Chain A
């Protein structure tokens, strides 16, 4: 009786051992699979890092070359306009003025792309100082007023308080305000642009317009690199998709938040920038 029990037990023991081996085998197979996936992932990561580096250096090379060309032709057009090349007739003057405008626009675009690349690479060091954000906003609004009115739009500015102290880089904060207002100018055919500054525990800048608006789909791409709205290219053929991306990078470097709202196509847009009070 004892022997019979042992025989059964030994058979069961063998079965258990074999079953456990099979389970371990499956685990080992999975382990190898994960190991191989990890290795593939590492290779892909390395390749991606190399590609990013190559892209960065390509962006720098192209933008510097393009900017160089724009700058040279800009001086040619400017020279034509200021009489360096002698008297020019009104028709040539008109063409030279257009050429100068195109060159300025081109340089602006190249600078935008270069700035994004530099911000991403950490090549830009912010000069953080305590400043009054109201001054930055007011100065930028006044600089943009001509362009707004030239398009037949109204520009409103509302500032609740006397001072809005923030710690930030005046140059880059101005870029933020400028970018948001320029966006509104580009995408608003009629109506007005309202810029407001308020303080509800944090500084809040809002730039509202009666323009093209933002679709639900576009809201997801607003602040991404190269993210352009589906309809924005129809209105603004020069859209680079880098403007709002730059805004986001700068605002976040100032420990702030930026977001956009819209009730939909044709219903205008509202962009908000929240900054901590210094």
Chain B
């Protein structure tokens, strides 16, 4: 399974779910995470720096959690369950396990 293609999808899903709760602020917070580039917010084009993409996802989850608490972590976790279901366990970001 090509997990490299999966991580941007995970990031997008998390941001969209947070957007439902906190509005456009979700995108602003995502932009602050090192390694994430929002190419086209409307079309959901997101680029994650190559390297440790697992770590970028963890940082994105932590970014929301730092501001909005544990509840936002649970939201991130629940939002991507179907996407991580088929990933090898070692590839799943720790924050989403």
Contact = CB atoms under 8 A, between A and B. Distances in A.
B76 to A, nearest CB: 12
B20 interface: yes
A32 B20 CA distance: 9
B69 interface: yes
A21 B71 contact: yes
Interface string B54-97: 00000000000001111110010000000000000000000000
B68 A21 contact: yes
Nearest to B75: A25
Contacts of A32: 20
A233 B1 CA distance: 70
User: What is the interface residue range for chain B against chain A?
Assistant: 10 to 19
A24 interface: yes
A28 B68 contact: no
A225 B69 CA distance: 58
B20 A18 contact: no
A25 B75 CA distance: 9
Given A17-B69, A21-B71, A25-B71, A31 B22 contact: no
A27 B75 CA distance: 13
Contacts of A21: 21-22, 68-69, 71-72
A14 interface: yes
Contacts of B22: 21, 24
A38 to B, nearest CB: 16
Nearest to B69: A18
Nearest to A19: B69
A17 B67 contact: yes
A267 interface: no
A24 to B, nearest CB: 5
A22 interface: yes
Ranked 7 nearest A-B pairs via Cβ: A18-B69, A21-B68, A24-B21, A28-B20, A28-B21, A25-B21, A22-B71
